[in-house]
Amino acid sequence: MRKRERAEYIAARLDEIYPKTPVPLDHGDNFQLLVAVLLSAQCTDERVNMVTPKLFSMADNPKDMAALKEADILSAIRTCGLAPKKSKAIKALSSILINDHSGEVPSSYSELESLPGVGHKTASVVMSQGFGYPAFPVDTHIHRLAQRWGLTKKNNNVVKTERDLKLIFPEDRWNKLHLQIIFYGREFCTARGCRGIKCEICRTCYPNRKKPYD
């Protein structure tokens, strides 16, 4: 099966398994989405959804968040990884949104990535899920599966993986497909549970693969 054939099969099969792709992070607007995505770094979405209700009950907008003490933010998100660093970033970016963006989350990569704690992946999620802009955020699940499925080279970094996925899949599929791959990676093609040889898609794409593909 060639790469193009694998891509077509993967997209069709994921549509069958995940016809709907709800945003996994609970949020009410783009500011809350931005904060939730920032918190999700080195933390599960489930954990983020457990801590954001308390945080957003304290402050659900940039003005109120900027007015909180950093220690108060930390107390709400303490169980998330890198909590001290994230609490500092959340307070700082909230102030920047108030002072430089009229309290609104900007809708460009450059402006988003200039905010404290916001890298390209976080900006891509906000652009796709918040603003509907075509984007293909690459997290650890997508990076792992793209390699196992032969859609990018094994030793590529996330930047090259994102580039390869954008080249092989049509732009109008990016936003939905990136969530579908994440869902599949969590449910069927886990880091240690599949290892490239057990799940349906891995076996279909590479039926003759015998050794784990780590």
pLDDT at position 192 is 92
Q: What is the pLDDT of residue 155?
A: 84
**Domains of the chain, start order:** 3-21+136-205 (1.10.1670.10), 30-130 (1.10.340.30)
pTM: 0.92
Q: What is the mean pLDDT of each run of 10 residues along the chain (214 residues)?
A: 96 98 96 98 95 98 98 97 97 98 97 97 96 94 95 92 97 97 96 95 96 88
Nearest residue to 38 via CA among 101, 105, 103: 105
Burial grade of 40 (CB within 10 A; 0-12, 13-18, 19 or more)? buried
Catalytic residue set: 121, 139
